[in-house]
A and B are shown apart, each in its own frame.
Chain A
Amino acid sequence: MKIKAPIRKATIPKPEIENNGGLSSKDFVSGQEVRWCPGCGDYSILKQMQTILPQIGVDKKDIVFISGIGCSSRFPYYLDTFGMHSIHGRATAIASGLKATRPELSIWVVSGDGDGLSIGGNHMAHLLRRNFNVNVLLFNNEIYGLTKGQYSPTSKVSTVTKSTPLGSIDHPFNPAAFAMGSDGSFIARTMDRDPKHLQTMLLRSHVHSGTSFLEIYQNCNIFNDGAFFDYTEKESKPGNALFVEHGKPMRFGADNEYGIRLDGTRPQVIKIGDEYGVEDVWVHDEKDIIKANILIRMEANYPDEKLPRPFGVFYETNRPNYEVLMQQQVDNALVQKGKGDLDALIAGNETWVIN
């Protein structure tokens, strides 16, 4: 039976933020010609970003975008903020040094599945564990686009590409699980084709103190068209995508007729009606790390359950930011030892005089 799909409205409340000095989205357009392929999902992400930037309460001069290499990494060129298009996989490391020395800046790292999880996977893990207060946008299209279509570390097994004519044999990363394994303090997923949800997730990433890891499903219409259509298209989205909200029961379906029930630690799809009521549906708690782990990995762990793909903020916690602790050590050293005396430092502990 074909599910009739009303366009789902993003009901997730936007975090409270203030407008920054009457700027509009146009003020964030750099003027450089945008050079993604026509129809690329990146256009929507750029547009949503330009839409939310006037709302985040940060002066334009204090916003920095840093990217690595790949289609996604052209992003900084198109935004009229400070920006750096760096080298493959290293945007996270560059952002770490910038944040360590300039904690007041709002820093956004733009990366892709190849850039952030393959060549830059090491730095990604370390950024997350250190918990610098920066926002990572991981554009996941499950393919290498800029190098013209090789499989990526998020490609499904058996993906046929130029480099894998017989199908890929690599087991793929689940980016959210990767972030969880690196003790990320904010882990969320959204998609290019749901502008409202994307905007809300960008705002949530901004508001979170600590490293925000936002995976964005992004359609590469040239090399991997439709990779996420199950979750993004009108017809299939309601039955396959689950939008989780803190404190709300996990419901999905064209008429919200389905829910996820936790049987112990085992999630199962239930139909709300005769056997189960709304009260049986798992209520999402962003602060619950155990359940977040179940949520993030539920499809892979229980393939027979036909569980939907979750979107939204899976997990958020507060723990100290690296740059704050680092500054505290400098401040404490100043209190304990006083401002450094350069002459005394150069002279050291033992000197002698020759007349």
Chain B
Amino acid sequence: MSKIIEEKQNVVIKFAGDSGDGMQLVGTQFTNNTASVGHDLGTFPDFPAEIRAPQGTLPGVSGFQIHFGSTEIYTPGDTCDVLVAMNAAALKSNLRNVNQNGIIILNTAGFDSRNLKLAGYQDNPLDGDLLNGFIVYKIDITKLTRDALEEVELGVRDKDRSKNMFVLGFIYWLYNRTPENTIQFIERKFKNDEVVREANIRALKAGYNYADITEAFSSRFKVQPAKMAPGTYRSITGNPALALGLIAAAQKTGLQLFYGTYPITPASDILHELARHKNFNVKTFQAEDEIAAICSSIGAAFGGNLGITGTSGPGLALKAEAMGLAVMLELPLIILNVQRAGPSTGLPTKTEQSDLLQAVYGRNGECPMPVIAASTPSSCFEVAYKAVKMALEHMTPVLVLSDGYIANGAEPWKFPKAADLDEINVSVVTSKESEEKFMPYLRDENLVRQWAVPGTEGLEHRIGGLEKEDVTGSVSYDPENHQKMVKIREAKVEKIAEFIPEQEVDSGKESGKILVLGWGSTYGSIKSAVTELIHEGYDVSHAHLTYIKPFPRNLGELLHRFEKVLIPEINNGQLIKMIRDKYLIDAKGYNKIKGTPITKNELKEEIIKMYS
């Protein structure tokens, strides 16, 4: 029987199941497949902090949302068109986000009395009218997977692990895809385990064929490729993008890369990525704690290497004293902070932008350090690269902010060629330049001191955390000198504003009624909301900060061209404090602190409210 093919402009699918159901893998595979057929996309993996949270419960639900289409996509989507729910808890925690007339695909095996009880359902939602208004497909995915694997010599528990591949198979069919890249992936991943490999491929094909032959699915969907700028693309998530940016910068400068770190969610994947690329002269060091992590990187930097450390909020707090040392030593160093919801341990797997003030101000003493922020998964590459350039050219530690949302979210990336990357000047002194005694704190016109590393004859010198005498670097307790050095360190960082680009307006006019000013991972939501409102006739613009310390030199002037400024943040109002302090404008905040991204629609409402 022939099936109808419906055309769609863009689609949001949410895969949800128990944290052991393999939903993240399904999401990643579908993402790669989606990217390879030329759609623009955005994703949002959302998983519990526990590796195996209590089975069947609401806190144990793991989800992966993907938004793809033939138009430009900036967010993973506010609500979904398709929900795949592997059990009752997955349905319960996601039902309110499914669009009217949306498709819900349910694994009926996940709705037995035990699962219903754990999810807190009094009555089985498969029977009542809770799901009226949706297109519901009830499939016993568990049984169908077991049937498909009847001839495979595996225990039932192991067979059930393949049910995610069954799901992926029928979603591939539903969206008119071929499963080839996933088959290749399975062959690579299980190349040494024939039985598991066979089970996964069979389940995948079974799901695909089931959708094809069953009467239940009468139509499938087709989405045209997006009109994206010509070029070669790949799919990328934020953490690997940071790692690649760092390696690219190290390769460009010829420096050995040293990454000292301590495992912490959601930053650990940066370590995992870097550890795989030792043939790029990369050394990774899993230190005994956060403090040793940054200190080992400072040691590497003292030795003339590209020293990098990475962490998340609680780890950044532990590194604060050593960051102060790096500021005092005026050595190049990169500190990556992949933010998560705090305070304290907070919500380790949920996103937040609440470390901004910690990044800018959170150290003892007057301790200025440049801070730059990534705004999308792919921008992590560029931001990491620029951070290295800034650190090396200005002899300063640089703090890079990312967050859990962009760390794990994926998007297509038109990646650069290595040859097209900016040049980076490294100012290592290779020999003694005069008969005079070497002066470690002598500065150039940009207030930058020289990098003299052990092993260089005649440049033996001592540095440390005690206040330095200007020029000589000797220990000094002189009050005049201390004030002078505090001012010099601040001026050195502020001088970087002369080397970074002016702030541009991302969407909308250069002046007007409302400017929405953002930073970090809210980029996609603000961009989508503002673009739609402009189409609807509103006078609204969007500017997005990458450089937070120092701010771009024209930022004040830009802000003053608008009647009102709205600053949405996933925190209790942090950038807004800095903007009000520095530019004395009456900016308004929109603050969401739920561990989830700001959605396009809630932001649109907020802007409209401000408009009137």
Contact = CB atoms under 8 A, between A and B. Distances in A.
Given A61-B454, A64-B454, A126-B292, A347 B415 contact: yes
A85 interface: yes
A61 B458 contact: yes
A122 interface: yes
A60 interface: yes
Given A340-B280, A342-B418, A82 B258 contact: no
B464 A122 contact: no
B122 interface: no
B223 interface: no
A147 interface: no
A93 B233 contact: no
Contact of B297 (A83, A97, A340, A348): A97
B455 A105 contact: yes
Given A96-B296, A97-B260, A343-B417, A102 B303 contact: yes
B466 interface: yes
Nearest to A78: B462
A84 to B, nearest CB: 6
A98 interface: yes
Contacts of B71: none
B567 interface: no
Contact of A87 (B228, B461, B465, B474): B465
B277 interface: yes
A96 B457 contact: no
A348 B277 CA distance: 12
Interface string A338-350: 1110110111101
Contacts of A126: 287-288, 292
B300 interface: yes
A66 B251 CA distance: 29
B234 interface: yes
Interface residues of A, number: 59
Interface in B265-299: 277-283, 285, 287-289, 291-292, 295-299
B232 A95 contact: no
Nearest to B381: A346
Interface stretch (B31-39, B527-535, B571-579): B31-39
Given A82-B454, A93-B291, A94-B302, A346 B233 contact: no
Interface residues of B, number: 73
A101 B300 contact: yes
Contacts of B235: 350
A284 to B, nearest CB: 33
Contact of B295 (A63, A77, A94, A353): A94
A80 interface: yes
Interface string B470-481: 000011000000
B155 interface: no
Contact of B303 (A80, A105, A326, A333): A105
B162 interface: no
Contacts of B459: 61, 82
B234 A351 contact: yes
B244 A90 contact: no
A63 B458 CA distance: 12
B464 A351 contact: no
B105 to A, nearest CB: 26
A83 B457 contact: no
Contacts of B228: 354
Interface in B207-244: 225, 228-236, 244
Given A340-B279, A354-B228, A86 B464 contact: yes
A97 B298 contact: yes
B186 interface: no
B283 A101 contact: yes
Nearest to A332: B278
Contact of B285 (A63, A90, A97): A97
Contact of A30 (B244, B298, B462): B462
Given A100-B296, A102-B303, A346-B244, A330 B288 contact: no
A79 to B, nearest CB: 8
B244 A101 contact: no
A76 B465 CA distance: 12
A101 B325 contact: no
Interface in A69-113: 69, 76-77, 80-87, 90, 93-102, 104-105
A82 B460 contact: yes
Nearest to A105: B454
B539 interface: no
B38 to A, nearest CB: 6
A256 interface: no
B292 A348 contact: no
Most buried by A among B234, B321, B460: B460
B455 A62 contact: yes
B312 interface: no
Nearest to B36: A352
Contacts of A62: 454-455
A11 interface: no
A101 B418 contact: no
Contacts of B299: 66, 93-101
A70 B256 CA distance: 32
A334 interface: yes
A123 interface: yes
Interface in B320-374: 321-322, 324-325, 329
A347 B232 contact: yes
Most buried by B among A76, A90, A338: A90
7 contacts: A76-B462, A85-B466, A87-B322, A97-B307, A100-B296, A102-B454, A354-B233
The 9 closest A-B pairs by CB, nearest first: A85-B464, A97-B299, A97-B296, A340-B280, A93-B295, A98-B299, A333-B278, A93-B292, A94-B299
Interface of B: 32, 35-38, 181, 225, 228-236, 244, 247-248, 251, 256, 258, 260, 277-283, 285, 287-289, 291-292, 295-305, 307, 321-322, 324-325, 329, 381, 415-418, 454-466, 474-475
